[in-house]
Structure 1
Amino acid sequence: MQSTRLTKLLNFLATQPNDPFILYALATEYNSLNDTKEAFYYYLKLVEEHPSYIGTYYHLGKLYEKEQQAEKAIAIYQTGMQRAREKGDRHAFSELQGAYHIAAGTDYEDD
């Protein structure tokens, strides 16, 4: 049985299939419902079709970590840091950098 929020988001997606916010909200909702397959689907769709949607990278990296895929998490954090740099988004860069260092087991001084 789908949650009410999920049903609403799927209805929004039907009318706006390429809206990055809706895709992100769906990925996040599926992740909160522990539907890893669908969460990955929407996060990866965002990375492919909306690479400048910076919030995706942090949450996709965390999902990779949760699934014991540290190398993929590290790679997605690195890509996200690059995208954040390109957009001049220092806050997102800092969050991604922190997640990267934790996943990679490095200190900030190692950069």
Structure 2
Amino acid sequence: MSKDNKSKIKQLARQIKNNPGDSFSKFALGLEFRKNGEFKKARILFEDILSSDPDYVGVYYHLGKLYEALDRLTDAKELYNDGIEVAQTQSETRTEMELKEALNQVEIEIEQRTN
């Protein structure tokens, strides 16, 4: 992990400590952890956002991808479906399309594994 990356993580962690309900900072920190291969830390942050701020539409895609990386395909599929509903409610067309594509890919993967 680069010095710059460590600094970014420390800064985001400080922001969260000062404002525990800051979904944006939690999301950014989760992305940094995921980028560094720290999947457990990223998952904990993303799941926390999901439970405390279920309208934070960006978390559905990234937590779903993390579930896929952890071989939790059924969880990813459920998450993508939930995210599509949230995106539709918020008229987030681009996010909805990304979630539908991710859902399609994970359904293909699940089908291939069952055949």
Q: Alignment partner for residue 86 of structure 1, among 70, 79, 89?
A: 89
2:80 is the counterpart of 1:67: no
Please state how far the C-alpha of 1:75 moved relative to its aligned partner. Answer: 0.6
2:56 is paired with a residue whose SS is coil
Q: Alignment partner for residue 40 of structure 1, among 39, 43, 56?
A: 43
Please state how far the C-alpha of 1:59 moved relative to its aligned partner. Answer: 0.4
Match of 2:99 in 1: 96
TM-score by length of 2: 0.87
The amino acid of 2:42's aligned partner reads A
Q: Alignment partner for residue 17 of structure 1, among 17, 20, 24?
A: 20
Q: Which runs of 5+ in 1 are unaligned?
A: 107-111
Equivalences, count: 106
Q: Which runs of 5+ in 2 are unaligned?
A: 110-115
Cα deviation code 1:62-97 (max 9, x no counterpart):
001111111111011001001101111111100000
Please give the root-mean-square deviation of Cα atoms over the aligned residues, in Å.
1.5
* Runs of 4+ with deviation above 2 angstroms: none
TM-score by length of 1: 0.90
Match of 2:112 in 1: none
1:3 is paired with a residue whose SS is helix
